[in-house]
Structure 1
Amino acid sequence: MKEFQIATGGIVIIIDNFRAHHAKKTVAKAQEPGIELSFLPPYSSNLNPIESIWKSVKRVIQSHSSSLKNLKRNNKK
C-alpha cells in the first residue's frame, strides 16, 4: 500500500458500486484525509474478487438447505 501511495501521490481505494459507497457522507469522510475513491464499472463482478467467494458460499449453503426453513433448522444443530 505504501509503494502504491508513493507512486500515485495519494491513497486510492477501489470499491464496488454499493449504494452506501456513493453516499455524500462516505465520499466526504474519504476525502478528509485525502483518500480518492475509484468505483468499479457497474455490473463488473469479474473485477471484484469477493463476488466469486460469495458465489461459492451461496452454493454451499444452498446445497445443504433447500429452503429458508431448513437453513434455520440446520443452523440450530
Structure 2
Amino acid sequence: MICVDEFGPLSIQPYPGKGWFPQKKPDRLPATYTRKHGVRHLFAALDLKTDKLYAHIKKTKRHQDVLQFLKVLRRRYHRSERLYIVLDNFSPHHHKKVKTWARENNVELIYTPTYASWLNRIECHFGPLRKFVFEGSNYSSHDELAKAIQAYIRWRNKNKHHEAILKEQNKIKVA
C-alpha cells in the first residue's frame, strides 16, 4: 500500500525560523510579492510496508504529472504485485487516463473521503519536511530547494525512527 499526495506550491522565498539570523540584529525578510522563479509542486509517496518516502518535483500538477509519478512508482515493484495507492480527491487523480492506466497496470486507486485527506498516512510526513527543509531557509533557486528536499528524504529514509522526525510527525493527526 502506497500513500500519495502533493505538497506545495513550493516557491523561492525566505521562510522564517529559528537559528538562521543573528540574535541582536535579525535580517529583515525581503518582500515576496512576485514569484520571479515561478512555483514547483512536490509529488510524494509513502510505502507503508517499508516506511520509505519517494518524491519528485514538477512544474505543474496536472493529470499528466500525476500519471508520470505513478508510473515511476509502479516501476519500483514487480508487475505481478498489486499496488494499492491511496489518494485524495484532487481532480487530476480522477482523470480518465489515470484510471485507465491503473486498471491496465495492476494498480488499485483508493480515494480518501471528500474533505478527509488527513486520512492519508503521508500527511504527517509533510510536517517534518516543513521543519527540516523550509524552516529558517532562504534558497536561491528551485534546484537548490530540490536538492535540499532530496537530501532530507534520503536522510529520513535512513533515520525513520529518529526522535526529531517522530516528534514532528506526531504533531499532525492522521488516522
Range of TM-score over shorter length: 0.5 to 0.7
TM-score (norm 1): 0.54
Alignment deviations for residues 6-65 of structure 1 (CA, whole Å, 9 cap, x no partner):
xxxx86533222332111100111122564422111232331121111122113334222
Cα distance in 2 for residues equivalent to 1:52 and 1:11: 21
Task: Give the number of the structure whose residues are more often strand, by fraction.
Answer: 2
- Quick one: higher RCO (CA 8 Å, sep 6+), 1 or 2? 2
2:125 aligned partner: 53
Higher Cα Rg, which structure: 1
Unaligned regions of 5+ residues in structure 2, if any?
Answer: 2-81, 146-175
Q: Which sections of structure 1, spanning at least 5 residues, go unmatched?
A: 2-9
CA root-mean-square deviation? 3.1
Secondary structure, aligned partner of 1:38: strand
Identical-pair percentage:
35
Residue of 97, 121, 129 corresponding to 1:25: 97
Equivalent residue number for residue 45 of structure 2: none
SS at match of 2:93: helix
If each structure's helix is expressed as a fraction of its own residues, which one has the higher value? Answer: 1
TM (normalized to structure 2)? Answer: 0.29
Letter paired with 1:71: Y
